[in-house]
Amino acid sequence: MTVLPDVSASLLEPQIAAPTAVSPQQVARRLASIFALSAAERDAQGGTPKAERDAFRTSGLLALSIPAEYGGLGSNWRETLDIVRTIGRADSSLGHVFGFHHLMLATVRLFGSPLQWEAWYEQTARRQWFWGNALNPLDERAVSRSRGDWREFSGQKSFCSGALDSEMLIASARDAANGTLLVAAIPTGRSGVSVAQDWDNFGQRQTDSGTVTFKRVRVENHEVLTEPGPLSTPFACLRPVLAQLILANIYLGIGESAFNDARHYTLHESRPWHAAKVGATDEDPYVLGQYGEFWVGLESARVLTDRAADHLDAAWACGEALTEAGRGEAALAAATARVAAAEAGLNICTRMFDVAGARATHGALRLDRHWRNLRTHTLHDPLAYKLREIGEWALKQRYPTPGFYS
């Protein structure tokens, strides 16, 4: 088992305490317990969670998914995704940027050559780099032009989660000559790259999912991921499978957090409705029935999400020998898990006030953040289209067609 230095409760301070070896899960749980204390307050503030991002850097968890031979912790995807869920349960914005960091690292591995990803793995592990997202394939405003031994990127990308306060970006642009999507790994601080602080949505308020502008940015040819390139092989097409599972685990973390908050309020603050004729809210049969529904939804989503992570690990282990069918099985499992986690989470986040009562709507509690966070996330990749993909399999035995969202 990979171990890390023990991180003290003063994690958000510059120093690290006791050098006792602990597991990545223990470090993640300790981080999560600290993040949870300020989650509601930071939700109100929005902006960049600089101290919390630095805590990730100090913790060593930014190297979680990097193989040990490159200086990383060597965790598989089941463990990595479980830690994404743990962080997301405490603060879904932090779970989001942490999960996307590992998605960006996986993008380099899946789309790039060994000469590229081995070097970036080693540097990330050694320097504890944070990776941000400026890929968004649906936003085609960024254009690339060949300049001989380098390329120029110019334009903008929206929904660039985690770009602020990152060391590296995964960026994309359309080739002006032929329309091909080019994906590259570049330093965030490179001349011509500008990351705006323009994210002010009602949910996921500390993900910095705003705009990145490229103004005649020089991208070296060796920074463009062309071997094998984006979604070019069944193995490369595991990138959207991982993306779907990161979302599923964030959704599940939000649902679990909403459940825990509702449960605590019901047990310690709620007053029974007079017509129930019971001494305490936890004796109300209608309240108990709703908690039963919540639990069934969460348990079902947990089983499906963990099973899908195992499918991903099995597919990942195949490497370039992965078949289209093997990739299809992993994609189907991920899609099923994502729908289950989203539906279970939205049900709890919407109905938690039915079991907690009117006092739970007090603004200072900010319990509405669970619904706001989950709703913001689910709108970016509509569940209706995910269900259609699952239906294609259920009715016609057709696997999801590979794409950035499937």
Q: Point out which residues pair with 155 in neighbouring strands.
A: 214
pLDDT, position 8:
41
Q: Which candidate, 336, 337, 318, places its Cα nearest to that of 327?
A: 318
Q: Is it true that domain 133-223 has CATH number 3.90.960.10?
A: no
| CATH code for the domain defined by 238-396 | 1.20.140.10
pLDDT, position 4:
60
Please give the sequence-ordered ranges of beta strands (E in DSSP) within 189-276, or none if there are none. Answer: 193-195, 212-220
pLDDT, position 9:
41
User: What is the rounded distance in angstroms from the CA atom of residue 358 to the CA atom of residue 273?
Assistant: 11
Give DSSP secondary structure letters for 222-264.
GGB--SS-TT-STTTTHHHHHHHHHHHHHHHHHHHHHHHHHHH
Instruction: Report the interhelical angle of 50-59 vs 92-111 (nearest 10°).
Output: 50
Question: How distant is the alpha carbon of residue 61 from its chain centre?
Answer: 14
pLDDT, position 14:
39
pLDDT, position 3:
54
Residue 333 three-state SS? helix
Out of 1.10.540.10, 3.90.76.10, 3.40.50.280, 3.40.50.800, the CATH code matching 4-130 is 1.10.540.10
Tokens representing 327 are: 């990739």
Tokens representing 186 are: 């570049």
User: What is the rounded distance in angstroms from the CA atom of residue 256 to the CA atom of residue 28?
Assistant: 16
pLDDT, position 15:
38
Residue 70 three-state SS? helix
- Distance in angstroms between the alpha carbons of the first and the last residue of the chain: 33
User: What is the rounded distance in angstroms from the CA atom of residue 39 to the CA atom of residue 28?
Assistant: 16
Q: Which candidate, 167, 84, 169, 185, places its Cα nearest to that of 130?
A: 167
pLDDT, position 266:
94
Q: Where in the chain is the domain with CATH 1.20.140.10?
A: 238-396
Please give the sequence-ordered ranges of beta strands (E in DSSP) within 11-158, or none if there are none. Answer: 21-22, 131-134, 143-146, 150-157
User: What is the rounded distance in angstroms from the CA atom of residue 100 to the CA atom of residue 97?
Assistant: 5
User: What is the rounded distance in angstroms from the CA atom of residue 206 to the CA atom of residue 196?
Assistant: 13
pLDDT, position 17:
38
pLDDT, position 273:
86
Residue 289's identity, in one-letter code, is: G
pLDDT, position 2:
53
pLDDT, position 372:
98
Q: At a CB cut-off of 8 Å and minimum separation 6, what does 362 contact?
A: none
Taking the CB of residue 90, how many other CB atoms lie within 10 A of it? 22
Q: What angle do CA 64, 338, 46 make, to 5 degrees?
A: 65
- For residue 204, CA distances in Å to 1, 75, 251 come to 33, 26, 12
Tokens representing 6 are: 């023990």
Q: Which candidate, 289, 282, 306, 276, places its Cα nearest to that of 356?
A: 282
Q: Where in the chain is the domain with CATH 2.40.110.10?
A: 133-223
> Tens-of-pLDDT digits for all 406 residues of the chain?
455 645 444 444 433 333 357 899 999 999 999 999 999 999 999 999 999 999 999 999 999 999 999 999 999 999 999 999 999 999 999 999 999 999 999 999 999 999 999 999 999 999 999 999 999 999 999 999 999 999 999 999 999 999 999 999 999 999 999 999 999 999 999 999 999 999 999 999 999 999 999 999 999 999 999 999 999 999 999 999 999 999 999 999 999 999 999 999 999 998 888 888 989 989 999 999 999 999 999 999 999 999 999 999 999 999 999 999 999 999 999 999 999 999 999 999 999 999 999 999 999 999 999 999 999 999 988 999 999 999 999 999 999 999 999 9
Q: Is residue 234 within 8 Å of 327, Cβ to Cβ?
A: yes
pLDDT, position 21:
73
- Percent of the chain that is helix, strand, coil (3-state, to 5): 55, 10, 30
Relative to beta strand 193-195, strand 181-187 is unpaired
CB burial readout 263-273, b (16+ within 10 A) else e: bebbeeebebe
